[in-house]
Amino acid sequence: MIVLGFDTATADTVVGLAGAGETIELRHEPAPGERPGHAEQLLPLCREALERAGIDWQQVDRIGVGVGPGTFTGLRIGVATGRALAQSAGAEVAPVSTLRALAANLDGSFPVIDARRGELFVLAGGAPRTARPEELAALAGGRTAIGDGALLHADRLEDVAPDPELHHVRGAALCALAAEAEAIGRDELLPDYVRDPDAKPRG
């Protein structure tokens, strides 16, 4: 099965392609002070992955989409793109937890994503939730913390992974989790905001 996976829940735009030879991983990481480039980078990175593998869109069997938690705008871009690509390519679609994809970088790790507004997104008891910085040490329970939230609050944690690459979602993990997941209908693909979006429609 050829799987194209991508995630736009964090500042990075991450793409992976598996099942068509060697796994391909691509990532755009914004420079310090630069805004995330999800809208500009996602489709070009997907096309580049397919070109490197020598395949076209119709050969993709499944599209794995990182559904968060993460930034409201990033998640909207990723989910909308996933729905559109699945329809145009005739591919299955599968949701992937961004926190679980991050945790796949290191066995037994504690994934932490910056949720802004003084909060973090974490996996606690196997489920995503928000946490305050002062809760991190207790929730981590001595596990090695990874993710941009772990770097942001390293002073509150016992152990933070020293390898910079461990703090980024990887395309290979997205593809692997998407391959294991149950495919869903395109309209069922929804962001996992965990908390209410920052922007709300006017009543």
198: in domain:
no
Percent above pLDDT 90 for the chain: 93
Residue 139 above 60 pLDDT?
yes
**Could you please report the per-residue DSSP string of the chain?**
--EEEEE-SSSSEEEEEESSSS-EEEEE-PPTTPPP-HHHHHHHHHHHHHHHHT--GGG--EEEEE--SS-HHHHHHHHHHHHHHHHHHT-EEEEE-HHHHHHTTSTT-EEEEEEETTEEEEEETTEEEEE-GGGHHHHHTTPPEESHHHHHTGGG-S-B-S-GGGGS--HHHHHHHHHHSPPB-GGG-----SS--SS----
Whether 88 and 157 share a structural domain: no
Whether 68 and 142 share a structural domain: no
Whether 124 and 48 share a structural domain: no
Q: What CATH number does residue 86 fall under?
A: 3.30.420.40
Tens of pLDDT, residue by residue over 143-154, are: 999 999 999 999
60: in domain:
yes
Query: Angle at Cα 76 formed by Cα 11 and Cα 152, nearest 5°?
Result: 25
Band (203; pLDDT cuts 50, 70, 90): very low
Band (196; pLDDT cuts 50, 70, 90): confident
Range of the domain at 157: 107-165
How many domains does one find in the chain?
2
